[in-house]
Structure 1
Amino acid sequence: MKTTKKNLAYTEWLSAEEMHTLSKEWLSELNFIKDEHLFFEDLVTKFTSQLLATEKFADSKEIVDAINRSEKYNNQLIDAVKRHENQLYVMVDGVDQKEVEKAYTKEHQNLTVAISDFLKEYKSLKMQLYNIIKHIRKEEKTSHLLERE
């Protein structure tokens, strides 16, 4: 007997109020990440000479490029969520527009997936950056201790 794999997706029905709440949470989180990107830029600026001097320069450059790409994508997501939030009236206007409401719900599902994927990648990126900075700081401490002796 041959089995076939089916891609079943669990789709939770959300009210307009729940979608609005989720959109506000997304905007809050994405705006916080926008602030973190500014912190990362300052961090990279502070450690530029060490990043250039390390044996892992290629990794450092890749992380900096990834931060820049992440920042651009974060801004795109913020714009998309704002547009999505502005179109919420479709769900609460009292007019029965099944296709438009279905399209809005589908867009909400797509945003849910996109933001979830972005947050996973962002967390990984953040950990990589922190590990590089941690490595630099350890090297600085070690060299400082060796100089004291």
Structure 2
Amino acid sequence: MTPKTHLKFIEWRNTAGLHEDTLQSISELNFLKDELKFLKKIVTEYALNIIVEKTIVDGAKINTDLGRYTYRAQQLLKDLKVHANQLKVLLDDIDVPDELQVYKAKHYKLMLDTLDLHVDVKKTKRKIFSLLGAIIKNNKRRKISNL
């Protein structure tokens, strides 16, 4: 038995639309992986300042979060690629009861998981830029007071 979806949109999508969704999500997740590498590099480069500013706990949590997001993105990419390949099975001429509903339910879950990951990364990016902004302001204050 497949779970009922709350988004009727997925139920109305044809197989071409589902395939487009999947390919779009794969593309976005590939970009997100690169973005996570960049954010991790920024946190690493500013690690000394983060330690000096006594915000090591925030920096460590952010670094941990970035690692978890990278893992989630890799898992979602694998799942989405398998999901995209399963569309071929869906399009064969063999009629299997509830095959389309099962595919759409999985599609719905993958799309929600992708959206959740994007939301989590966006929150962490805000924390990173807020933390770096505070460090930069503090460095400017120090330079001005040393003049």
For residues 80-105 of structure 1, the C-alpha deviation after alignment (integer angstroms, 9 at most, x for no partner) is 11111111112322322233222111
| Aligned twin of 1:3 | none
Q: For the structure 1 residues 129 and 18, does the alpha-carbon distance in structure 2 shift closer, same or farther, using more than 3 Å as the test?
A: same
Read off the aligned partner of 1:104 and give its amino acid letter: Y
Partner of 2:101: 102
Structure 1 residue 8: deviation in Å?
8.0
Instruction: Tell me the residue number matched to 1:90.
Output: 89
Whether 1:43 aligns to 2:42 is yes
Inter-partner Cα distance in structure 2 for 1:103 and 1:53: 53
Task: Mark the runs of 5 or more structure 2 residues left unpaired by the alignment.
Answer: none
The number of residues matched between the two structures is: 142
Question: How far apart, CA to CA, are the structure 1 residues paired with 2:6 and 2:64?
Answer: 34
CA positional deviation for 1:22: 0.7
Displacement of 1:55: 2.5
User: 2:7 & 2:85 partners in 1: Cα distance?
Assistant: 26
Point out the more displaced range, 36-45 or 26-35.
36-45
The amino acid of 1:112's aligned partner reads M
1:79 paired to 2:78: yes
Partner of 2:118: 119
TM-score (normalizing by structure 2) = 0.89
Q: Which residue of 1 aligns with 2:6?
A: 9
In the alignment, what sits opposite 2:54? 55
- The structure 1 segments of at least 4 consecutive aligned residues displaced by more than 6 Å after TM superposition are none
Q: What is the identity percentage for the equivalent residue pairs of Structure 1 and Structure 2?
A: 25
Q: Distance in 1 between matches of 2:97 and 2:133?
A: 53
Higher relative contact order (CA 8 A, sep 6+): 2
Residue matched to 1:28: 27
* One-letter identity of the residue aligned with 1:38: K
Which structure 1 segments of 5+ residues have no match?
1-6
User: What is the TM-score with the length of structure 1 in the denominator?
Assistant: 0.88
